[in-house]
Amino acid sequence: MTEIQKTKNYAPGGIKDNELKKMPIGATWVENLIGHGSGAIRFRRNSKNTAPTAGYRYSHQGKSFFIQIGQYRITESTAGLPLQDIRNKAQEFATLKRQYPDLRAHLEYLEVQRQRQQRTEIETERQRTAKGTFRQLLDGYIADRDKAGINTKEIRRSFTKDVIEPFSLLLDIPACEIAHNDILTILEPIHARGSLNQTDKVRSYLMAAFQYGMKQERQIGTAKAGAVYDIATNPVDGIGFDSADKDIVNKVGKRALSELELKLFYSSAGLDGSRIGFPLAQLFRMVIATGGQRIDQLCREPWDSFQGDYIRIIDAKGKGSVKRVHLVPHTERTRQILAELEPFTGQHSHPFSSRPDKPYDKASFSESVRRWLQTDFAVIDEQRMEHFTPRDLRRTMTQLMQRAGISDSDSDRLQSHGVAGIVDANYRNDPKGSLPSKQRTLDAVERILQRVIDGQTDNIIPLRKGESA
């Protein structure tokens, strides 16, 4: 067969499948498309081991152009396109050519745009996945609290139980993509089981975690090391309870022990049958003897903090990261409490402890009071005492001081309550400077306890060394 015989022109639809399957090597066949200027399909077979290839051929401004379509599929089991698919694709090109006469240039432009869009999408996804995840946000918040010296045990427990374990699919999502609905999805199951306080607690922790993520990227001079969260708004903001649940969650504590109740608890805690271990009973007595200090802060202080003329307490409460030194003068009563405790925990790291190397867990406080309330010690005139919590001891001491005429400012300063204002931070910032006024307040507290606990009526306290009558 000559070269001329290998080159053939066909009318639209003129080439048959059985012809293409037997197409000679080196042959070029052209099948015209319907319509003037629509172009044609060009088939070419280059070797024995390859199937014919097809492309769209057209003319523009006197020049011939060719756009590859693909390989013809000889059998069902081989790669390539059926003849009809090749014709359909060529017809698509022909239709597009009517709108864009320089079809190749248009297709090249589309390919450039496609690649550009692909690169944009890849970069967008890279930036998206490079942003800190929800898991990293929670871990970062806890690490920040640890660094500030805040006890994060409860935060860890709440996150693990109510966020991480039940909603693991959310953890790898960028924190900036967590929305209000996701927060509601987390909180609803807690609320559904009736745990309103836990719902509010987890809500508060999540609010603080997202606030941490936003704050660290907006502070002047803060190093932008680690995860970048790019959180625009806090998704927890605005999420709250309905009126009925809000009243329960925000219920103001009002329980304060009567003088008789306080005496019964102080006197019987730690005795046989009280269901309170002696070191823990001494902790409750220390709270009362110091005018209502925060029980968890007293408990976490080591023995060294109780040496000398005063008790050294690190006041780091709530969500704030600022730790303040709070000094409470010793009294004869506080020294006696420690002296009685020394044979039990003198070799421990902390005076108020059941283990050699760590203090009591805060969960022990409420549980021990609950157990004491079930004993015969908590019965007055055949009536069992109303439930109270360790926090109510602080309120009780506040009200006793109030009734004794101790000023609110002196009471607040002794209890380290509401003393973090600008004046205290910038001027009254020497912890020892307030010791004399606290000593006078504790003298008054001791007179109250001598009357209420010890049954004395003369309101006289022993003079301290160096005092004169």
Residue for token pair 């009809």 = 84
Q: Is pLDDT of 217 > 50?
A: yes
- Lowest-confidence range among 31-35, 66-70, 347-351, 464-468? 464-468
Note the pLDDT tens digit of each residue in 281-308.
999 999 999 999 999 999 999 999 999 9
Written as one letter, the residue type at 90 is A
Q: Is pLDDT of 467 > 50?
A: no
Burial of 129 (0-12, 13-18, 19+ CB in 10 A): exposed
- Of 413, 444, 230, 235, nearest to 324 by C-alpha is 413
Is the domain defined by 259-452 classed in CATH 1.10.540.10? no
Q: Is 329 helix (H, G, I), strand (E, B) or coil?
A: strand
Q: Is pLDDT of 463 > 90?
A: no
**Cβ atoms of residues 26 and 46 within 8 Å:** yes
Burial of 76 (0-12, 13-18, 19+ CB in 10 A): exposed
Mean pLDDT confidence for 103-117: 89
| Most confident of the following: 25-34, 236-245, 420-429 | 25-34
What pLDDT, on a 0 to 100 scale, did the predictor assign at position 315?
86
Model confidence at 465, pLDDT cuts 50, 70, 90, reads: very low
Mean pLDDT confidence for 439-444: 96
What pLDDT, on a 0 to 100 scale, did the predictor assign at position 6?
78
Q: Is pLDDT of 248 > 80?
A: no
What pLDDT, on a 0 to 100 scale, did the predictor assign at position 441?
96
Mean pLDDT confidence for 181-189: 93
Helices (H), 404-462: 408-414, 422-426, 435-452
User: Do the domains spanning 134-249 and 259-452 agree at the CATH topology level?
Assistant: no
> Comparing 306 with 421, which gets the higher pLDDT?
306
Note the pLDDT tens digit of each residue in 427-439.
466 788 889 999 9
What pLDDT, on a 0 to 100 scale, did the predictor assign at position 456?
81
**Cβ atoms of residues 327 and 334 within 8 Å:** no
Q: What is the DSSP letter of 162?
A: I
Q: Is pLDDT of 347 > 60?
A: yes
CATH architecture of 3-99: 2-Layer Sandwich (3.30)
Q: Is pLDDT of 241 > 50?
A: yes
Percent of the chain with pLDDT over 70: 86
Q: Is 246 helix (H, G, I), strand (E, B) or coil?
A: helix
Q: Is pLDDT of 376 > 90?
A: yes
**Cβ atoms of residues 420 and 429 within 8 Å:** no
Q: Is pLDDT of 348 > 70?
A: yes
- Lowest-confidence range among 106-110, 383-387, 462-466? 462-466
What pLDDT, on a 0 to 100 scale, did the predictor assign at position 251?
58
Residue 400's alpha-carbon distances to 262, 289, 332, 417, 439, in angstroms, are 11, 12, 20, 16, 17
Q: What is the pTM of this model?
A: 0.55
Percent of the chain with pLDDT over 90: 60
Mean pLDDT confidence for 233-260: 77
Q: Is pLDDT of 7 > 90?
A: no
Note the pLDDT tens digit of each residue in 11-38.
999 999 998 988 999 899 999 999 888 9
Mean pLDDT confidence for 124-150: 81
Q: Is pLDDT of 354 > 70?
A: yes
Total length of the chain? 469
Helix axes 259-268, 278-289, angle to 10 degrees: 140
Average pLDDT of every residue of the chain = 86
Q: Is pLDDT of 312 > 90?
A: yes
- Lowest-confidence range among 61-65, 221-225, 243-247, 370-374? 221-225
Model confidence at 223, pLDDT cuts 50, 70, 90, reads: very low
Relative to beta strand 53-60, strand 324-329 is unpaired
What pLDDT, on a 0 to 100 scale, did the predictor assign at position 242?
74
Model confidence at 2, pLDDT cuts 50, 70, 90, reads: very low
What pLDDT, on a 0 to 100 scale, did the predictor assign at position 421?
53
What pLDDT, on a 0 to 100 scale, did the predictor assign at position 468?
38
**In whole angstroms, what is the distance from residue 267 CA to residue 377 CA?**
10
Q: Is pLDDT of 274 > 50?
A: yes
| Segments making up each domain of the chain, as ranges | 3-99, 134-249, 259-452
Q: Which CATH superfamily is domain 134-249 in?
A: Tyrosine recombinase, N-terminal domain (1.10.150.130)
**In whole angstroms, what is the distance from residue 289 CA to residue 302 CA?**
18
Q: What is the DSSP letter of 354?
A: S
**Cβ atoms of residues 456 and 450 within 8 Å:** yes
Mean pLDDT confidence for 326-343: 96
Q: Is pLDDT of 322 > 80?
A: no
Q: Is pLDDT of 123 > 80?
A: no
